[in-house]
Structure 1
């Protein structure tokens, strides 16, 4: 069936029943700036319509309109997709903006929270705190939305201690390709539940999550060590020492850490969920790299640590829209770079033409509890990895020199660690030859078969989403 834009508009307007602010189309004034609002300004995309539902019934109606009239569908929560996948990733999709789906209810018997898919992480943290001092693992950017973050993984400083964000999902309400509002959990529609936890964009529109929660950690120790060098090569030995620490299978799971390279320097950050005495008892402070001066320690509570991490994150990748390019890669323990390879890589960075002063490369510790969960327990496939890196180059405008620097850095890493494989599905990369294999690795065949059952026409589609298994 071909696309029928006029019929689509009439159908969606009928679902909205005349409500102002329900939907906008390309001819709507300020469509791009007020409705589309691309995050990565380097990826141009114009959806056929942007809809802002308030109920699951609205979402179901819009999904039926799209299916009947031959349009693909994607949901947007916080809107931070690197490929603007919440807008479809390609022109002509139906974009369902979940901004009004802000439900929050805490069950104080089970301590499970029901949370709307449009909720932003920063607001969720405040509500969890107010509802009894509760928490679950997620990333540090407060403007990221639950709907995308918790369906691709949801990595953050608490993940080594508690697992990923999606590991906390108990049940979801989801609209499937037939336009039905369904529940998915380990007991009900378990195959769909498996797929939604790691590959959600290809399987339905989640309208609300039921999340298990933990008591907030009472105290938090935050570590920061700034490396002010004229050359990245001068930091190579310190990086190798940091890498050895985070690769230790016995590293206390209460500790998360990053090594961040940027122009003229680097920084090592760490977050330990416990007291200062417990932190020192782990031996981690003695294993952290330094050049004779101890790193800076900040002591505080859980909410304070979230605010501090968000502040640091904003220094490297803001909530503000910008033109940027990015790459990422996961590493198993036996794929980590040796000291000589690290030195060669950092020396290459010094010599490379970058085309911008807005670049940074983040190496993040994984493992811990994430690693203890079977790889095939959810769609998320990278539980056997202990580290990943992500790189960013930002430019106004974004120059080809910057694109080449980010791409060539990735090639350098692969040349030094040729067996490293796999990309975090939250760091989407339109240049990948086999994105689905990179995102979901050994879980991909199972996901393709589930897709064939639940969405055989590939209604829920973006450039990197799971495709249905080929019919025999």
Structure 2
């Protein structure tokens, strides 16, 4: 292929398409021949996975998003939205595709009668928190990476007393579909598309606006951390067993959020209790409360933004502060709610493996994060998100401690071995494991979609056939279209 000014023939074709779609305003797009294109515009999050989009665009209106998508569809190019840019496999920067960066779409308004917030698709969660709390004392559930993620992200983890997911707060969206239409989707219009967007959004469109149900922000919270770094791995295994039994208690309050984190230094248990210090002290007096060691720290907070800022700082410390790095992630969902626990011999095997296995790096984290709560009460078919029966998740991270080299096979095998120890031990119980789609893993291969979306995958494939048969919105592990088994077009979901 020939090239002019450093662009391939395809890249020159894309330049023409984008410029025709967006006009002469060169602040709305960037192309690979620009100086520092990868650094200033693409901004890969995982340096182990190299991609080079043919264009990065910065639309300001839904109409401009639609023009970009329409042009890409005609050319057969992949399109992906970038909002937070926090994709562990750089799926928001499709190789030889087009990036739709939503940083210019951050509008916010609040209806103070219904307490519904209307939010632009590019608003970061930290910005959303400030807009909700400072004038209105309102909040929504969401993940902990508040300055990296947005509502567009798959990682809609709960950080709120309701123990919900952010997707459960979404009541309506404005979305650009693969044919360049701008649609409103909700429980009453384009219901099937709305269902798919709430759990598999990157495969179905680009959301330019959210309407969110909000809650009163908690008035007082207790944040705690207990470190177990001085004893043996056997002792830490015993603490983990106690912690696991405690969170499996069916009567445990939904206001108790908790994470068990294992690193080179040992085990720590941390989280937030959404209530008063007195209530937390009463909870800690239970005979099976697992946190009774020195090295403990509790902080009472009466400002919701302080809570979120602290949690974001803790995530940043674990994951290198959001700085691009050579990284690898894996995940495991313990589906089946409170029945699927790793028994005591399994915990012993896991901690023995962690103690003796070659890690290949000093920077690794195993994070067991409690889910449960209200999300376990929502039917699996309520949205595309398919792990509502999980009590907790394992999220594994490793970062190369060699600044200029990738994650080694030794490190990848270590993280894979953690999953293997757990799954092989519990296989006899018929446990249904899955993978959380917010922590994408290229090593999952052909099974990725089934692990991410489980029994909801077939319906997602049917809806994909209706709204995006040409796979405009695609990445290496996105939902694929299939021939519809029932109706050709519908606004209803049937299982």
Unmatched runs of 5 consecutive residues or more in structure 1: none
Which residue in the other structure is 1:446 paired with?
459
Counterpart-to-counterpart distance in 2, 1:157 and 1:441: 24
Q: How far apart in 2 are the matches of 1:142 and 1:366?
A: 18
Q: Does 1:417 align with 2:426?
A: yes
* Whole-angstrom CA distance in 1 between matches of 2:91 and 2:331: 17
Task: Map 1:23-172; keep pairs closer than 5 Å.
Answer: 23-88=29-94, 91-149=95-153, 152-158=154-160, 161-172=162-173
Q: TM-score with structure 2 length normalisation?
A: 0.91
Whether 1:346 aligns to 2:343 is no
**TM (normalized to structure 1)?**
0.95
Q: Residue deviations 1:252-283, cap 9 Å, x none?
A: 00111000001121110121111112223445
Q: Which moved more, 1:183-192 or 1:18-27?
A: 18-27
Contact 1:4 1:69 in 2 (8 A): no
1:459 paired with 2:489, answer no
CA separation of 1:186/1:231 partners in 2, compared to 1, >3 Å: closer, same or farther? same
What are the residue-to-residue correspondences of 1:252-263 with 2, within 5 Å? Answer: 252-263=253-264
Shift of 1:291: 5.0
Measure the CA separation in 2 of the matches of 1:225 and 1:132.
Answer: 33
Bigger mean CA offset, 405-414 vs 237-246:
405-414
Structure 2: runs of 5+ lacking an equivalent: 1-8, 486-495
Q: CA deviation at 1:290?
A: 3.7
SS in 2 for 1:457: coil
SS of residue in 1 equivalent to 2:443: coil
Aligned residues: 465
Alignment match, 2:251: 250
Whether contact under 8 Å (1:233, 1:350) holds in the other structure is no
For residues 145-294 of structure 1, the aligned pairs below 5 Å read 145-149=149-153, 152-158=154-160, 161-229=162-230, 231-282=232-283, 286-290=287-291, 292-293=293-294
Which residue matches 2:5?
Answer: none
**SS of alignment partner, residue 170 of structure 1:** strand
* Aligned 8 A contact 1:106 1:131 in 2: no
Q: Is structure 2 residue 481 aligned with structure 1 residue 468?
A: yes
Deviation readout 1:104-142 (Å, 9 max, x if unpaired): 111111111111111111111111112301100001112
Q: CA deviation at 1:242?
A: 0.4
Q: Which residue, 408, 418, 432 being the options, matches 1:399?
A: 408
Are positions 1:334 and 2:342 aligned together? no
Q: Is the 8 A contact 2:125 2:151 kept in 1?
A: no
Distance 1:188-1:29 versus aligned 2 partners, 3 A rule:
same
C-alpha separation between the residues in 2 aligned to 1:20 and 1:286? 65
Root mean square deviation, CA, Å? 1.7
Q: CA 1:171 to 1:471, structure 2 compared with 1: closer, same or farther past 3 Å? A: closer
Name the residue aligned to 2:3: none
Shift of 1:37: 0.5
Q: Please state how far the C-alpha of 1:299 moved relative to its aligned partner.
A: 0.4
| CA–CA distance in structure 2, aligned partners of residues 130 and 157 of structure 1 | 18
SS in 2 for 1:161: coil
* Structure 1 residue 232 displacement after superposition: 3.0
1:367 aligns with 2:372: yes
> What per-residue deviation string (whole Å, max 9, x for no partner) do you get for residues 180-233 of structure 1?
111000011000000000000000010111101001100001121011136433
Q: Does 1:378 align with 2:391?
A: no
1:186–1:14 Cα change, 3 Å: same
Cα distance between partner residues in 2 of 1:292 and 1:439: 37
